[in-house]
Chain A
Amino acid sequence: MHPFAQVILDGLFTGSTYALMAAGLALILGVVKVVNLSHGAFFSLGAYVAYVLSAKEVSNNPAAAVLLACVIAFAFGVFLGKSFINPVRSHPFSVAVGSLGFAILFEQAAQMLWGPHPVSIGSGPPWGELSGVVVRRWGAVSLLASAGILGGLALFLSSRWGLPLKLISEEEEIAGSVGIDVEKYRYLTFGFAAAAAAVAGALLAPATSITPTMGRVPLILSLIVVIASGMENVLAIFLLAMGLGLLSNISAYLLAPQWSHVSLLTVISLLLLLRPAGLSSTDPGRDD
């Protein structure tokens, strides 16, 4: 085994899990322009869908879990976007508190349905070895999925179908004046973002311990990625997520595990101090 090469590969895999969660969050921040603190709950929902399918021996096929999680989360997301987010979106604190409330409600519901104890799904063997470096199955799945989702999102936004979203993101009033149903696009975006988080949860479920509160950590990390990279540039989100994944794993290996979080937050704080509007923004955005 080459320990450092293994740490580098694992760091890329870790970064891809941040990117996977950040994709949906960036969409919400860019289009709906709210901080959605219920995003982690959709991640947990996806994981529980995968668990139920596996535990009830319905299907161990990740594709089935991904599909079902996607449909359920999309429906929930649209409902939440239409009934709660849209009516109060001009009040950012209300949105933050309300979406946090939804996340806590979901945690309580999950606890009542599946119990407070952690549950788990078999993770299977690794995919293989490359010159003594182990390719972790769920790491590779995460890397491919994040590249696929973010790549798909970038393609969509650059196509003519993505134009309404770009217009809403940049000039909401103009979008409305040219006949775009802004409200509809907002709640559909919320639904898609929820579905993306649930897909991440369903894909990564076998690699984790599934608990009602499992979405809290990914929420914070993906929020960090989106805010630090800026929500306009999909490639910047992907690259920053990868960089942070590498930083997290290398510092844990070279220093100590508890340094992974500290080093990650230190770098993010410095980045935000220099470029509060995010890395990809052309405007540094500093107030001084």
Chain B
Amino acid sequence: MRRIACFLPVPLLALSALVLLSFAAPASPEPIAQIRIGVLAPLSGPFAGGGSALTQAVTLAVELANAEGGLLGRPVELLVADTQGRVEIARSEALRLTSREKVFALVGAYLSEETVGVIEVAAASRSVLIVPVAATNEITDRVRREYDRYRYIFRVGYSIPQWAGMMAEFLARQGVSRYAFVGTGIRWNRELAGELRRALAPKRIVPVYESFYSPRNPAFESVAVAVMARSPEILVLGDPGGSSAEFVKRVREGGAIFPILSVGGTLGDARIAATLPLSAPLYVQAASWKGASPAATRYAKAFERRYGYMPVGYSDTLPYDAATVLFSAVRAAGRTDSDAVVKALETGAFPGIAGTYRFDPSHQAAWGTPELHGIVIRWEPGGARIVFPVPPGESNPAAADPRAQ
């Protein structure tokens, strides 16, 4: 025992020396803390196409921001979570990103259903959430109803009434009076059909056929026959997914010559459009497009250089703008404090690819204004042409007779 007691001072002295040394040692330069941002998107399963485009666009925005020195002098780190298109996974991944990974803000999710789940997590953790594409009214309704709880949520993408408004404006300019609406039987699509009907009623444009197919057994041929039997002047196709290309093939194969206006998504993809019959006009609604503005052209070129294909103008452009709006707000706030960033987002104007974003009291970006409006392109054998708003100096031949196109 006595021998042990004799040895005890040695380790004690060594430990004391170590403590003293560590205090005396010159402080090593601390690594610059990164600003962490989480992205929620379906990267597997049936919605992986849209989710992948979303992630690619945000990644590009982060890379460009970091190339310009980052945010507030700090590099931005992106943490990507796969929601698999499922509400419960989206919610748990949002929880992981905010609580364990300590992200400062979130961008996502993709589907309306997922996003409604994620806003609860964002509200509880007081993390800023920028919604790029999910369109359901429920997101901004919650901000309006319970501002204190949901004030961290902002939507960059268009709401369903705004979407319907922009499409109604285009249809009115086409001079049509009868249209058909066909789409996937999912929530936002039914809301969109209703809003479009309401937006077109004062313009005396009426639906002659409206239907929603099940993705499990869409029976496209019958839908195509039913639409043709009603003789609409234009068909509005409410399906941003892969099935839309299949439906266009069926309609055209059946000999239909009415124009089709797609809500965007897959039909904005040049690789898909190149395989579709263009025997009658195929229009695609988009947030922006190459050639719409210098910023849009720069973005499209950067995207194509980085990923090898042209952006579709919707599921990539809006997420890109979601990220750049967030970065601009952080710069305006001067810090990554959620409340300061919320204040900046509420009061500022933020330039993006599609125009300048300002948020209304429900934190919805003000689409359908001169400084932020969607466009419509028309696919032609050589590529796409912007047809709405009509570029300066061009007439709108489609307005005379849409079938003549």
Contacts and interface: CB of A to CB of B under 8 A. Distances in A.
B49 A118 contact: yes
Interface string A211-228: 111100100110000000
A208 B225 contact: no
B221 A208 contact: no
Contacts of A120: 245, 271-272, 275-276
Contact of B223 (A126, A209, A257): A257
Given A3-B229, A120-B275, A211 B219 contact: no
A280 interface: no
Contacts of B277: 122-123, 125
Interface string B223-267: 101101100000000000111111001100111000000000010
Nearest to B242: A118
B43 interface: yes
A234 B338 CA distance: 65
B226 A3 contact: yes
Given A7-B225, A116-B43, A248-B219, A257 B214 contact: yes
B213 interface: yes
A258 interface: yes
A252 B276 CA distance: 24
A137 B253 contact: yes
Contacts of A258: 185, 211-214
B222 A257 contact: yes
B55 to A, nearest CB: 10
Interface string B348-361: 00000000000000
A119 B271 contact: yes
A137 B211 CA distance: 25
B251 to A, nearest CB: 11
A184 interface: no
B269 interface: yes
B212 A209 contact: no
B254 A211 contact: no
Contacts, number: 142
Interface string B315-353: 000000000000000000000000000000000000000
A93 B49 CA distance: 31
B52 interface: yes
Contact of B255 (A126, A214, A252): A126
A1 B228 CA distance: 9
Contacts of A209: 242-246, 266, 272
Contacts of B223: 252, 257
A232 interface: no
Contacts of A211: 46, 49, 242
B65 interface: no
Nearest to B51: A116
Contacts of B241: 118
A117 interface: yes
Given A118-B242, A252-B222, A111 B266 contact: no
Contacts of B249: 123, 207
B217 A221 contact: yes
B214 A253 contact: no
Contacts of B254: 6, 126, 134, 136
Interface string B201-218: 000000000011111111
A256 interface: yes
Interface residues of B, number: 44
A121 interface: yes
B405 interface: no
Contact of B219 (A14, A111, A126, A208): A14
A252 B217 CA distance: 10
Interface string B9-44: 000000000000000000000000000000000011
B53 interface: yes
A10 B228 CA distance: 14
B266 A217 contact: no
Contacts of B246: 207-209
A214 B48 CA distance: 12
A260 B49 contact: no
B214 A260 contact: yes
A238 B196 CA distance: 43
Contacts of B271: 117, 119-120
Residue among B216, B269, B272 facing the most chain A CB atoms (10 A cut-off): B216
Contacts of B275: 120-123
B45 interface: yes
Contact of B221 (A13, A125, A212, A221): A13
Nearest to A55: B271
A171 B266 CA distance: 51
A125 B245 CA distance: 15
Contact of A117 (B53, B228, B255): B53
A252 B219 contact: yes
A253 B219 CA distance: 9
Nearest to B241: A118
A108 interface: yes
Interface string A87-128: 000000000000000000001100100011111111101100
B45 A253 contact: no
B44 A257 contact: no
Nearest to B217: A261
Contact of B222 (A10, A111, A221): A10
B13 to A, nearest CB: 59
A114 B43 CA distance: 14
Given A117-B52, A252-B223, A126 B217 contact: no
Interface string A137-161: 1010000000000000000000000
Interface of A: 1, 3, 6-7, 10-11, 13-14, 107-108, 111, 115-123, 125-126, 134, 136-137, 139, 207-209, 211-214, 217, 220-221, 248-253, 256-258, 260-261, 264
Interface of B: 43-46, 48-49, 51-53, 185, 211-219, 221-223, 225-226, 228-229, 241-246, 249-250, 253-255, 266, 269, 271-272, 275-277
7 contacts: A1-B255, A3-B228, A115-B49, A118-B269, A123-B249, A209-B246, A253-B226
Q: Which 7 A-B pairs have the closest CB atoms?
A: A118-B242, A252-B219, A116-B48, A10-B221, A209-B242, A252-B222, A257-B213
